[in-house]
Amino acid sequence: MGRRRGFTLIELLVVIAIIALLMSILMPVLSRVKKQANLVICQSNLKQWGIAFSAYTSDNDSYFHEGWGGSESKSNWWMDATRRYYNNVDEIRCCPMAANLDKKVDDGHVNFGVWVWDEEGNYGSYGINGWVENRKVEVSGQEWKAPLRWRTPNVKGTGNIPLLMDAPWIDCWPQHDDLPPELDNWDWILSEPYEGMGRFCKNRHEGHINCLFLDFSVKKIGLKQMWKLKWNRQFNICGPWTKCGGATAASWNDKASWMRNFPLY
């Protein structure tokens, strides 16, 4: 019986080349599958928050919480107000695309950051549309906000009114003329106005974010589509950054070239 012949160098190189080719084909596919799975998990998290908000408003005469600086409690944030309505907070507080999920590092200003509010366990990667809050007494100097508030889900057009969404901070107060962030991963502290759309316009899901709406439905929305949502009662959905408001691809590219390949709404 002759000796068993091993692989020749050429055969080994061919096998390695085939494996490398298969990996180059499979890796992008696996990456897309992982991103899609993360998007679905994120949407599932927001649906759980929708159940919590629905239960809260049902128990409070159909009104939302007051929010920070309200007359009843300076710590009446959305995550405090809804705490009794969920048991799995650790599972639903963060989008799986957010960074620092285990370390809970306060890196909430950037796309994939997790915000950390206090030492009582308040951290996450979702933020609320501040215009839904039922503030009874406005903070001094901000009385102008009162007529813009939704306060309750019992209004018309709830399917286009944001409630909670992918976000690197706890809340935002968008206006229709808010400028888009000039850079991807833009720090909201540097945006003008700092508490507006620039705070939440973050590229977490390949040009999209996930959003829970006032009818408690969850949808994926384009970043430029944020200017078409009805954030407050006086928000103009045909503002200067929309098609119907006269915006063009060129005007977007001049201000936020990193969004040039995202569709215009």
Per DSSP, the residues of 164-212 read: EEE-SSSEE---TTPPPPSSTT--GGGSSSTTSGGGT---SSSSEEEEE
Answer whether residue 1 shows pLDDT above 60: no
The Cα–Cα gap between 198 and 186 comes to 8
Residue of higher predicted confidence among 31 and 152:
152
* 2 located within any domain: no
pLDDT-derived band at 15 (thresholds 50, 70, 90) equals: confident
Pairing of strands 208-213, 115-116: unpaired
* 27 located within any domain: yes
- Residue whose tokens read 């309200």: 70
- Joined together, the tokens standing for residue 167 give 């976000």
* 4 located within any domain: no
Answer whether residue 105 shows pLDDT above 60: no
Average pLDDT of the segment spanning 95-114 = 64
The whole-number pLDDT of residue 263 equals 94
Torsion angle, CA of 193/94/40/82, rounded to 10 degrees? -90
* 38-48: pLDDT as tens digits: 889 999 999 99
* 232 located within any domain: yes
* 265 located within any domain: no
Q: How many domains does the chain have?
A: 1
The Cα–Cα gap between 43 and 202 comes to 16
Ramachandran quadrant class, 254 (left: phi over 0; alpha: psi -120 to 50; beta: rest): alpha
- In terms of Cβ atoms closer than 10 Å to its own Cβ (0-12, 13-18, 19+), residue 238 is middle
Domain that holds residue 20: 12-259
Average pLDDT of the segment spanning 152-180 = 94
Residue of higher predicted confidence among 163 and 90:
163
Stated length of the chain: 265
* 3 located within any domain: no
Percent of residues, the chain, with pLDDT higher than 90: 47
Q: List, in sequence order, the alpha helices (H) in the chain.
A: 9-59, 78-81, 89-92, 249-255
Q: 47: closest CA among 126, 153, 115?
A: 126
* 7 located within any domain: no
* 87 located within any domain: yes
65, 84, 154 from 59: Cα distances, Å: 11, 11, 14
The whole-number pLDDT of residue 103 equals 47
